A = this chain, B = another copy of it.
Amino acid sequence: MNRESNMINDEQAVEIFKALSNQIRVNILQMLKEPNNNFSPQAHVIKEKGFDGGVCVSDIRSKVGLSQSTTSQYLSILLQSGLVEMKRIGQWTYYRRNEETIKQFEKYIGLKI
């Protein structure tokens, strides 16, 4: 697949800046860098099922200390921006970083900012 096609545009970049213009959302993204170090051993961190490193909403919620609904909403803002991706398995929704978007975002900063 053509690598150029992954380059994010100005509009997407502003969406990402908005997503990151909140300390707690930045914290969430940072925590998800190392799920196994940042969440308790009994947390639902996926190791199989093809979504390695995914963490469920309630485990993220207990780390950030916000209400369940705010946590859910913040995760959907991160999802909309493309910085994370999610997969629903049973009654759980697992979120993990979308490293491809993050890489393209870094590239955007270097070239366009």
Contact = CB atoms under 8 A, between A and B. Distances in A.
Interface of A: 10-11, 13-14, 17-18, 20-23, 26, 29-30, 102, 105-106, 109-110, 112-113
Task: Give the interface SS of chain A, mostly helix, strand, loop or mixed.
Answer: helix
B11 A113 contact: no
Nearest to A97: B113
In the complex, the 10 A-B pairs of residues with the closest C-beta atoms, listed nearest first: A17-B20, A17-B21, A18-B21, A21-B21, A17-B17, A14-B23, A106-B109, A109-B109, A106-B110, A14-B26
A112 B109 CA distance: 14
Contact of A21 (B11, B14, B110): B14
A30 B113 contact: yes
